[in-house]
Amino acid sequence: MILQSTNRMNYIEQLNDPQKAAVLHPEGPLMIIAGAGSGKTRVLTYRIAHLIQHHGVDPFQILALTFTNKAAQEMRHRIEQVVGTEARNIWMGTFHSVFARILRYEADKLGYPSNFTIYDTEDSKSLIKAIVKELNLDDKVYKPNTVLNRISGAKNRLISWQEYNQNPIFNSDDASARVPKMGEIYRIYAQRCFKASAMDFDDLLFNTNVLFRDHLDVLNKYQHRFKHVLVDEFQDTNVSQYLITKKLSAVHRNFCVVGDDAQSIYAFRGADIQNILNFEKDFPEAFIVKLEQNYRSTGNIVEVANHIIKNNSAQLPKKVWTSNGPGNLIEVFRAATDNEEGRLVASSIFEEKMQRQTRHTEMAVLYRTNSQSRALEEALRKMNISYRIIGGLSFYQRKEIKDILAYFRFVINTQDEQAFKRIINLPKRGIGLTSVDKIVVSAFDHDLPIWQVLENISSFVPRLINVVGDFVSFIKRCQIEVTKNDAYQAATFIAQHSGLLKELYADKTVEGLSRYENVQELLNAVKEFVDDPEKEDKSLGAFLQEVALLTSEDTDKSQDNDRVTLMTIHSAKGLEFKNVYVVGMEEELFPSMMMLGSRADLEEERRLFYVAVTRAKSKLFLSHAFNRYRFGRMKTCEPSRFLDEIDPQYLKINHSTKKNSKPELAQHAQPSGQYAKSLVKKAPVKTTYTHQPGADFAPSDTTGLAQGMRVEHPKFGFGTVTNMDVQGANRKAKINFEMVGEKTLLLSFAKLKIHG
């Protein structure tokens, strides 16, 4: 292999000593403990390049697993810069995409066709909803989310529906939770998926384990094919993922894992931190490398992160450091209310933009729960600061897109029950829900594929013979197109001849035009897929698999390049920003009230805070409110215990806003420990509360003011009308203000802005 000498030398010279040790390690188990901002992606990339370039490893014999397609594509591109186009032959991708690829090759061993459908979360919920209805169960008790999470949890622990139903502990737990039919739903769900030739996301891992367990010849084939197995973000793996990769690396023992136990924050998705904590027990001969130099953040941010995480007992010891300067102190905003917290954050962002020319795209606001975004959004809008929220409805979840994709899916796999239900009366064919249910039930009762029922509809629902016959004929025409043509030609034919495109085009409303343009954009995506020279398989089935395995990170294609990013801390994992605002630093919010029941849960919350802090490169802002609306009521809040775990020398307390002067509220809000010391040292002696209305404040007409309305006063702030006195010449309103208590105002003089 002839390579440019600059590529051959430069990437090794760019590494520090621990990074170099990880890249140059020849064979055997290797664990790279990578602190935040320590260049783990560079190390993993160069290690793969080095295996190819200097150890002569065939790229086809390297398996590299990530958690997002975006990360895999970035790594492949970097490797290609060093070793050339050979990098395209590496088995690299997400766990789900790589294992789906293996399952396509070996599907017949498990009784599936190679063109099996991959159900997304909405498909799974829809099927569960139908099963709950068929069993005449209460859908308020057996909620699709709850049921799916229970089934997902079982599959991630490799518990089949048979094992689930035979386990008295699970049966007892379900009975105690008043969902005794959970096992039966799991059974029917699994059987219906199999009958529909469909796998959900968890099945891609579960069935790969079954494949390797029951077919040792297949396991042996892949064990010898992959001489090197590398796993990124190892701390996020679940039991199923670890077992598969451990089996695949059992022959050659070249198992390289990269991760940071301090950033293990996905237990709610099944991630098991014990995988990384116990790696040395499973592989006692493993070579351990610690990447402890942080290249991302300032010294103060790194030290704050270290102070936080040292309070966790379950961890692999390391001391992250940086040669960067100390930078700014971490600024803490103490707000009277959540609305004022939003205003303080928005004002700070505005100041950073105007005075320091920090671009909006370089700033992020992170919160524990999505509900916190409301006050922040209102404050940002008032100051005309553009923003984007990560975690909204993705392109591929829009109704019109799912409709056309369902047509594609059914043409490829006529056993796909969920796709059939979605398209059979779309556009309308006069087939009601009752008729659809009859077709599905007939297929299930007679143990027949749905397609066979449709082809022989006269035997099942005679009155539908004409309309269903036309539908069957159309699907057969589409199947011919799929066989003859590439994905784009086939997709265009289906979109045009199904009637969907025509129906959307006929809708001349703004919404209708947007939906039509979205479908056109989908066809553009198919064309882009077909034109990609790296895609060997140009079929519609291959395109559908790629779409089914996209993650939220892969579908965010916003064109606005200068917007502040708002997102949950979980969504921020793997990202970095110049300035980061972590809001809602209060007890029972962060750490969450739901995570205070055990030490393990609390330590996961602390790791989540660690992740939030280490997203910042230059400036970190923390904020908390003394009063916050939660569940429709104003609640007095205490500062988070995590603030108390930070050495006060790294904090700068912002006192531009003061807490409520009412004694009972002040008493509840008093922090203790190190955070309290920083307040005592820096706080002024006297504090008073003054409301600062926004620039757009203008008094409303109070003629229609009524009890229960929310209002704003230029001095007293926000409040709720508790009583109206309209007797006599002067109208009065009794208002309970959030920060100054109850006051009675004469409406002819009071300047009130009505907020609803």
Q: Which amino acid, residue 144? A: P
Under 8 Å between Cβ of 750 and 702: yes
41 among known catalytic residues:
yes
Return d(Cα 439, Cα 420) in angstroms, integer. 10
Return d(Cα 523, Cα 517) in angstroms, integer. 10
In the set 76, 615, 617, 659, the catalytic residue is 615
- Whole-Å CA distances, 670 to 334, 592, 677, 679: 12, 19, 11, 10
Q: What is the number of other CB atoms lying within 10 angstroms of the CB of residue 420?
A: 25
Return d(Cα 339, Cα 572) in angstroms, integer. 23
In the set 120, 123, 202, 232, the catalytic residue is 232
Return d(Cα 88, Cα 76) in angstroms, integer. 7
88 among known catalytic residues:
no
Where does 167-238 have alpha helices with state H?
Answer: 168-176, 182-195, 201-214, 216-225
- Listing DSSP states for 298-322 in one string gives -HHHHHHHHHHHTT-SSS-----B-
Which of 468, 441, 397 minimizes the C-alpha distance to 192? 441
Put the strands of the sheet holding 91-94 in their side by side order.
91-94, 62-66, 228-231, 255-259, 30-34, 287-291
Which of 437, 430, 433 minimizes the C-alpha distance to 464? 430
531 among known catalytic residues:
no
337 among known catalytic residues:
no
Return d(Cα 33, Cα 257) in angstroms, integer. 8
Return d(Cα 400, Cα 438) in angstroms, integer. 26
418 among known catalytic residues:
no
Tokens of 555: 């579908």
Burial group, residue 96, by CB count within 10 angstroms (0-12, 13-18, 19+): buried
Under 8 Å between Cβ of 289 and 22: yes
Exposure string over 327-366, b if 16+ CB within 10 A, otherwise e: bbbbbbbbbbbbbbbbbbbbbbbeebbeeeebebbbbbbb
Q: Which amino acid, residue 621? A: F
Helix axes 201-214, 144-156, angle to 10 degrees: 30
In the set 8, 20, 41, 292, the catalytic residue is 41
Query: Which H or E run includes 145?
Result: helix 144-156
Under 8 Å between Cβ of 290 and 602: no
Cα 388-389-395 angle, rounded to 5 deg? 95
In the set 203, 233, 341, 486, the catalytic residue is 233
- Whole-Å CA distances, 376 to 364, 614, 718: 12, 22, 16
232 among known catalytic residues:
yes
| DSSP strand pairing (616-630 vs 633-636) | antiparallel
In the set 45, 235, 263, 614, the catalytic residue is 263
Return d(Cα 30, Cα 521) in angstroms, integer. 44
Which of 10, 61, 18, 63 minimizes the C-alpha distance to 39? 18
Under 8 Å between Cβ of 606 and 642: yes
Under 8 Å between Cβ of 603 and 312: yes
Q: What is the number of other CB atoms lying within 10 angstroms of the CB of residue 590?
A: 27
- Whole-Å CA distances, 608 to 233, 279, 571, 614: 15, 22, 11, 10
In 3-state terms, what secondary structure has residue 580?
Answer: strand
Tokens of 533: 């020279």
Which of 636, 585, 654 minimizes the C-alpha distance to 334? 654
Distance spanning both ends of the chain, measured CA to CA: 71
- List all residues 6 or more positions away from 89 whose beta carbon is below 8 Å from its beta carbon: 58, 59, 60
- List all residues 6 or more positions away from 746 whose beta carbon is below 8 Å from its beta carbon: 730, 731, 732
Which residues are known to be catalytic? Answer: 40-41, 232-233, 263, 615
